[in-house]
């Protein structure tokens, strides 16, 4: 069988199958214990729009928000620029550095690892040098120099799938078999990261809910999430407040908490090790109940 044919064979795993997966995620100076599901708290480090139409970017506000999420029980804090939003225009590197670096500096001695949501090798290098412990890249380290930017460090990396680019990805997402295609892409990126010198214990994969996917694509990926865990690295799932949840419930982003919790719980039930969430306290509570039932203690 050719490697391609072998990869395209569907992976079917019963609920009880033991999957050899690192029980820890190496993440800079941290070793994250994956024996319970972890919550990655989302912190936007982007300019806020005000009613006068002006923009005001406050690193202090991002730092305060991050500290609140840590108090709520965030296991990782993800610092995100605006570049990944559907329909968003790219942010110049100097602008992204000016947003992110002051926040990394202020939070670097907190008790949880800092993740930087970026696609730019320069931002990765500078953030890692300032104490970030994880790189969360919606392009799965696809930019020239991105693999090299993380390889020499001990940071964790999240390799995410996206079809197209943020500005246009939601226009008309098309797949022949969304689960197979996303799994093949992530498998190839795990291999590429390995060849670049990133140890498996540092790698997380993410199907990229909402990134060039319709509601039906997102639901199909969620249904089959366990097949991603079969890649042998932890799976991260980000459903929090996403537009698919709006389409399923008819609710605006600020009213999607219950739907976000439901999706996070299904993701964990289907093998996710980390969920990315805005509402950390509520997500932790839901996962505590799941964990108690799972462990029967």
Active site residues: 242, 276
CA atoms within 13 A on the CB side of 22: 17
Shortest spacing between CB 18 and ligand 7PM, in angstroms:
26
Shortest spacing between CB 82 and ligand 7PM, in angstroms:
9
The secondary structure element, H or E, covering residue 293 is helix 280-295
Distance CA 178, CA 175 (A): 5
Binding site for ligand 7PM (CB under 6 A): 42, 80, 84-86, 117, 136, 138, 158, 160, 206, 208-210, 236, 238, 240, 242, 276
Nearer to ligand 7PM, 86 or 164 (CB): 86
Question: HEC profile for 1-29?
Answer: CCHHHHHHCCCCCCCCCCCCCCCEEEECC
Nearer to ligand 7PM, 153 or 260 (CB): 260
Nearer to ligand 7PM, 25 or 236 (CB): 236
Shortest spacing between CB 250 and ligand 7PM, in angstroms:
18
Nearer to ligand 7PM, 96 or 117 (CB): 117
Q: Which residue is nearest to ligand 7PM (CB)?
A: 238
CA angle 238–216–42, rounded 5-degree value: 15
Shortest spacing between CB 284 and ligand 7PM, in angstroms:
18
H-assigned helices in 80-230: 93-107, 121-129, 146-151, 178-196, 215-223, 226-229
Shortest spacing between CB 84 and ligand 7PM, in angstroms:
4
Q: Are 206 and 161 in contact (CB under 8 A)?
A: yes
Nearer to ligand 7PM, 136 or 283 (CB): 136
Q: What distances in angstroms separate CA 293 from CA 269, 296, 297, one per listed residue?
A: 11, 5, 7
Within its chain, how far is the Cα of 57 from the centroid?
23
């Amino acid at each position: 069988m050719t490697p391609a044919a072998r990869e395209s064979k569907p992976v079917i795993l019963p609920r009880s199958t033991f999957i050899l997966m690192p029980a820890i995620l190496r993440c800079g100076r941290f070793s994250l214990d994956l024996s319970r599901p972890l919550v990655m708290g989302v912190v936007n480090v982007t300019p806020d729009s005000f009613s006068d139409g002006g923009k005001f970017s406050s690193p202090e506000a991002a730092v305060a928000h991050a500290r609140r999420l840590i108090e709520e029980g965030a296991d990782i804090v993800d610092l995100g620029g605006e570049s990944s939003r559907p329909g968003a225009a790219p942010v110049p590197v100097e602008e992204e550095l000016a947003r992110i670096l002051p926040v990394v500096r202020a939070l670097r001695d907190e008790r949880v690892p800092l993740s930087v949501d970026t696609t730019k090798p320069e931002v990765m290098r500078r953030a890692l040098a300032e104490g970030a412990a994880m790189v969360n890249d919606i392009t799965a380290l696809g930019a020239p120099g991105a693999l090299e930017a993380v390889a020499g460090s001990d940071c964790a990396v999240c390799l995410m799938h996206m079809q197209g680019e943020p500005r246009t990805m939601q226009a008309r997402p098309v797949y022949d078999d969304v689960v197979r295609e996303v799994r093949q892409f992530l498998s190839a990126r795990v291999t590429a990261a390995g060849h670049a010198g990133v140890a498996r214990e540092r790698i997380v994969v993410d199907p990229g809910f909402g990134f060039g996917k319709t509601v039906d694509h997102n639901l199909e990926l969620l249904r089959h999430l366990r097949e991603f865990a079969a890649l042998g690295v932890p799976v991260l799932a980000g459903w929090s407040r996403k537009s698919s949840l709006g389409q399923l419930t008819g609710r605006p982003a600020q009213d999607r908490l219950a739907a976000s919790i439901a999706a996070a719980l299904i993701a964990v039930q289907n093998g996710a090790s980390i969920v990315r969430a805005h509402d950390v306290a509520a997500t932790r509570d839901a996962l505590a109940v799941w964990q108690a039932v799972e462990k029967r203690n």
